[in-house]
Chain A
Amino acid sequence: MESSQTLLKLTEELQKLPGIGKKTAERLVYFLLKAGKKEAQSLALRLNELAEKVILCKICGGITEANPCAICSSSARDKSMICVVEQPLDIAIFERTNRFQGLYHVLMGTLSPLEGVGPESLRIDELVERVKDGKVKEVILATNPTMDGEATSLYISKQIKEFGVRTTRIARGVPVGSDLEFVDEITLMKSLEGRQDI
């Protein structure tokens, strides 16, 4: 590899990607070399487009090429509901259910005292502003059911309490298609807490 600075630099860039170590990065570089000029140029073009065109929606923080995004500017969406998620990709996950008709709000992370991440580093003020305007009736907190995710939901629910909106947390419980025998006690406890009439 030391024969080419270009190879070395590209390998270093690739190694910055999550889940890619030195070996994998080198293999990817060799693959691109072998695949020919066209492949590499097309990848470069797509990367450029990503950097130039794809932005985060100024309202919800979701991934978009138009600002505001299609969801935020759609007249068909229910503007009284906001689903709060950790990452832009979480929006796509909810959209795949074809069930949720409201709007989204991306936090860009969770509270994490150990990483020094406090509420000021998240898009919580922006959420409070959206809730303040009075059209929102319900905020659904859909952060991950991890310790940091739970704490973040708890924090947000306190911040928006004064505006009198309904605040809900996505249910945590037994996964569909699983067997109770293999469900851990924490999940089982949460599923009892979140039980519903049928």
Chain B
Amino acid sequence: MPLYNDTALVLRHYDLAESDRIVSFFGRRYGRIRVVAKGAKKLKSRFAGRLEPFHSLDIVFFGKENANLVKLSSVEMSTSRTGISADLEKFYHASYMVEMVEAGLREGDPNLTAFDLVAKGLSWLERQTGSKDLEWVTRFFDLKFLSALGYRPMLERCLLCKKEWSGDTDPFFDPLAGGLLCRRCSDKKTGFIPLSKGAAKFLGKILITDFEMAERLKPSQSLLEEISRSILAFRNARLQKVFKTERFLA
């Protein structure tokens, strides 16, 4: 039987019969996969403590091509993120990231950009000490993650008339179509969100900023509230999902 290896984030696990578990991973190479970990709940399991959510692991698994579930063969720790379980806020936000992955990516649908973003997002969470930036970084993550899925919003020109946005006027954001509308075109559609020109430019800045730089880009509270409306409406329109973890985020 063929062996596969991957670097993978633990998303969550489910109990299977007796002492076995199904572990849901987000693999760098294979995307979202579910793997059976035999005896994972047993005291002397060689997988033991490593299979908890949010760690990055180097995993080896095997199984037949097209098999519904493959089996875990071995596990090495790549990046441990134990700090997340020591803080409820971190735990809730990390759970939200997992839910984003599950909402945005089907099983066996690899996405390297999304993988790197989630890995960085989880590491960022684990490093924080009493940070007040959680809300901001989460919205930053949302927009970057949606673009990684291929939902990059059009911020350079008007979605309808295609005219380049000059940056001198306040545009509108259309969450369904994913982008800006000029003032004149906004009359022709409904369900858009008014956006100040500063906020529209700021959304563009997020798209070209690396995750590591997110904290430095931190907007004022009022700007954050403004862009959050557009980002969340965009997320909901694209992923069509009620997020169970959302009510846990302060």
Give A residues with C-beta under 8 Å from B. Answer: 18-19, 113-116, 118, 145-147, 150-151, 154-155, 158, 175, 178, 182-187, 189-190
Judge whether B136 is part of the interface by a CB distance below 8 angstroms: no
Given the complex of chains A and B, what is the CA–CA distance between A151 and B50 in angstroms?
17
Q: What chain B residues lie within 8 Å of A184 (beta carbons)?
A: 46-50, 77
CB atoms of B88 and A151 under 8 A apart: yes
Given the complex of chains A and B, what is the CA–CA distance between A118 and B106 in angstroms?
26
Given the complex of chains A and B, what is the CA–CA distance between A157 and B77 in angstroms?
29
Q: What chain A residues lie within 8 Å of B95 (beta carbons)?
A: 113-114
CB atoms of B44 and A118 under 8 A apart: no
Q: How far is the CB of A154 from chain B (nearest CB, A)?
A: 6
Partner among A114, A151, A175, A186 whose Cβ is within 8 Å of the Cβ of B82: A186
CB atoms of A182 and B46 under 8 A apart: yes
Given the complex of chains A and B, what is the CA–CA distance between A182 and B248 in angstroms?
37
> 1/0 per position for B30-53, CB-CB distance to A under 8 A?
000000000000011011111011
Partner among A114, A155, A183 whose Cβ is within 8 Å of the Cβ of B48: A183
Contacts A19-B18, A116-B244, A147-B54: A187 and B48 contacting too (C-beta < 8 A)?
yes
Partner among A114, A151, A187 whose Cβ is within 8 Å of the Cβ of B85: A151
Given the complex of chains A and B, what is the CA–CA distance between A175 and B44 in angstroms?
7
Judge whether B92 is part of the interface by a CB distance below 8 angstroms: yes
CB atoms of B80 and A118 under 8 A apart: no
Query: Can you list 17 A-B pairs with a CB-CB distance of less than 8 A?
Result: A113-B96, A113-B99, A114-B245, A118-B247, A146-B52, A147-B52, A147-B53, A147-B91, A150-B86, A154-B87, A175-B43, A178-B43, A182-B46, A184-B48, A184-B49, A185-B49, A186-B82
CB atoms of B86 and A114 under 8 A apart: no
The residue in chain B whose Cβ has the minimal distance to the Cβ of A154 is B88
Partner among A113, A116, A146 whose Cβ is within 8 Å of the Cβ of B92: A113
Residue of A114, A118, A183, A189 ringed by the most chain B CB atoms within 10 A: A114
CB atoms of B18 and A113 under 8 A apart: no
Give the interface SS of chain A, mostly helix, strand, loop or mixed: helix
Given the complex of chains A and B, what is the CA–CA distance between A186 and B44 in angstroms?
14
Q: Number of B residues contacting the other chain (C-beta, 8 Å)?
A: 33
Given the complex of chains A and B, what is the CA–CA distance between A159 and B69 in angstroms?
40
Given the complex of chains A and B, what is the CA–CA distance between A178 and B42 in angstroms?
12
CB atoms of B49 and A186 under 8 A apart: yes
Q: What chain A residues lie within 8 Å of B55 (beta carbons)?
A: 186
Given the complex of chains A and B, what is the CA–CA distance between A175 and B49 in angstroms?
12
The residue in chain A whose Cβ has the minimal distance to the Cβ of B93 is A113
Q: What chain B residues lie within 8 Å of A115 (beta carbons)?
A: 244
The residue in chain A whose Cβ has the minimal distance to the Cβ of B82 is A186
Judge whether B17 is part of the interface by a CB distance below 8 angstroms: yes
CB atoms of B48 and A151 under 8 A apart: no
CB atoms of B244 and A114 under 8 A apart: yes
CB atoms of A186 and B52 under 8 A apart: yes
Q: How far is the CB of B158 from chain A (nearest CB, A)?
A: 39
Given the complex of chains A and B, what is the CA–CA distance between A31 and B129 in angstroms?
60
Q: What chain B residues lie within 8 Å of A113 (beta carbons)?
A: 91-92, 95-96, 99, 244-245, 248
**Which 3 A-B pairs have CB atoms at the shortest separation, nearest pair first?**
A186-B49, A116-B244, A113-B95
Given the complex of chains A and B, what is the CA–CA distance between A184 and B147 in angstroms?
37
CB atoms of B17 and A19 under 8 A apart: yes
CB atoms of B12 and A114 under 8 A apart: yes
Judge whether B159 is part of the interface by a CB distance below 8 angstroms: no
Judge whether B195 is part of the interface by a CB distance below 8 angstroms: no
Given the complex of chains A and B, what is the CA–CA distance between A151 and B94 in angstroms?
12
CB atoms of B17 and A185 under 8 A apart: no
Given the complex of chains A and B, what is the CA–CA distance between A150 and B49 in angstroms?
13
Judge whether B118 is part of the interface by a CB distance below 8 angstroms: no
Given contact pairs A154-B87, A186-B50, a sample of 10 additional A-B residue pairs in the complex whose CB atoms are under 8 Å apart:
A114-B12, A116-B245, A118-B248, A150-B86, A182-B46, A183-B48, A184-B49, A185-B80, A186-B48, A186-B77
The residue in chain B whose Cβ has the minimal distance to the Cβ of A174 is B43
Given the complex of chains A and B, what is the CA–CA distance between A83 and B199 in angstroms?
52
Q: How far is the CB of A90 from chain B (nearest CB, A)?
A: 14
The residue in chain A whose Cβ has the minimal distance to the Cβ of B54 is A147
Q: What chain B residues lie within 8 Å of A114 (beta carbons)?
A: 12, 95, 98-99, 244-245
